[in-house]
Amino acid sequence: MQTPGQVDRRPLIAAATLLGIGMGGFVDGIVFHQLLQFHNMLSAPGYFPKTGVDPQRLVVNMEINMFWDGLFHVLTWIMTAAGLAMLWRAGQRSDVPWSTRTMVGGLSLGWGLFNLVEGIIDHHILHIHHVTETENHLIWDLAFLGSGVVLIGIGMAFINAGSGDTNTRGATVL
Amino acid sequence: MRPITLRARLVLVTLGPLMLAAVFATEAMACPFCDGGSSGVNEVREGIFDGNFWPRVAATLAPFPIFAGIVALIYFGPPCFERGRSEATKCASRVSCPQAD
């Protein structure tokens, strides 16, 4: 049972991390898939590549990739929605400190986790796509992982900086 | 008969047209793999729903259980993120748990 003065940051960190994962996925989808038009889900050679194919095959492969990109973004949407629900719940608790630094840290942590986990699994283990489907894709893939590590580091620094924040938002407990 | 509440009216006004549009819009039939049209359409459909459909679903969704696991670990697991717990032992071995005791 809790006593007055006790705070629990974990609900806020978890919510912000989920939101960061979801928003990181949307950055990936919007910036890479749509604006820059690479990094599509099954665009590696052997799947449905967008380079080295004739124009008719290119259209077909792009539409197939769009389907798999969409499926991926369904899950990123679910992550975002779950994060929002958890944030709402955390805001109603009187033992969760309403810390901007913790929130920003969690968002950065989530984004970094997205880049790191997605990069390791899809680029380096499954090889279903790379950041760019070029001969020097390894450099881009490693830079993607590196961005994840940097974002995680920034996130952890913010979370640690917010460890002294104790002001809560919610008026009712649980 | 009960009058329609303001909330119900808002829901009807907001969702009603969207649902009608979803059901009756001819644009929905432009979906490349939803109808049995040209050979290009068939290639898209066959490319998606071939024998490797489920393995590709698994590959596409593979990172998400890991994301969920990490978040669950943050929420339920390491008590390091928590300050002010009376159970000091939970944080005893954690170096990044200042003022936890």
- Would you state the pLDDT for residue A167? 87
Chain A residues lying within 8 Å of B71, measured CB to CB? 14, 17-18, 21
- Would you state the pLDDT for residue A174? 47
- Would you state the pLDDT for residue B82? 53
Residue B46, token pair as written in the block? 């066959």
Considering only CB atoms, B40 lies closest to which of A48, A60, A128, namely A60
Query: DSSP string covering B27-83, please?
Result: GGGG-TTTS--SHHHHHHHHHHSSTTHHHHHHHHHTHHHHHHHHHHHHHHS-GGGEE
Determine the Cα–Cα distance for residues A74 and A66; give it in Å rounded to an integer. 12
Question: Where is A14: in which H helix or E strand?
Answer: helix A10-27
Contact A112, B67 (CB under 8 A): no
Residue A74 at interface with chain B, using a CB cutoff of 8 Å: no
Range with the lowest mean pLDDT among A3-12, A140-149, B83-92?
B83-92
Determine the Cα–Cα distance for residues A112 and A123; give it in Å rounded to an integer. 15
Mean pLDDT of chain A: 92
Question: Which own/partner contact pairs does B10-16 have at CB distance under 8 Å and 24+ positions apart?
Answer: none
Contacts A–B by Cβ distance under 8 A: 92
Residue with tokens 């969704």: B61
Residue with tokens 């978890």: A14
- B95 exposure class (CB count in 10 Å sphere: 0-12, 13-18, 19+): exposed
**Residues from B in contact with A at Cβ < 8 Å:** 32-33, 40, 43-44, 47-48, 56-57, 59-64, 66-67, 70-72, 74-75, 81-86, 96, 98-99
- Would you state the pLDDT for residue B87? 45
Determine the Cα–Cα distance for residues B20 and A122; give it in Å rounded to an integer. 39
The list of chain B residues with pLDDT below 70 reads: 1-2, 23-30, 32, 35-41, 78-101
Other Cβ atoms within 10 Å of A39 Cβ, number: 23
Range with the lowest mean pLDDT among A8-17, A158-167, B73-82?
B73-82
User: Which tens digits make up the pLDDT trace of A90-140?
Assistant: 999 999 999 999 999 999 999 999 999 999 999 999 999 999 998 899 999
The C-alpha angle A156, A162, A163, rounded to 5 degrees, equals 90
Percent of chain A with pLDDT over 70: 94
Amino acid letter, residue A19: L
| Residues contacting residue A6 through CB under 8 Å, at least 6 positions apart | A95, B83, B84, B85, B86
Binary contact (B81, A9; C-beta < 8 A): yes
Question: Where is B11: in which H helix or E strand?
Answer: helix B6-24
- Would you state the pLDDT for residue B66? 97
- Would you state the pLDDT for residue A77? 97
Residue A3 at interface with chain B, using a CB cutoff of 8 Å: yes
Residue A159 at interface with chain B, using a CB cutoff of 8 Å: yes
Binary contact (A56, B40; C-beta < 8 A): yes
Q: How many residues does chain A have?
A: 174
User: Which tens digits make up the pLDDT trace of A37-59?
Assistant: 999 999 999 899 998 899 989 99
Residue B28, token pair as written in the block? 């929905």
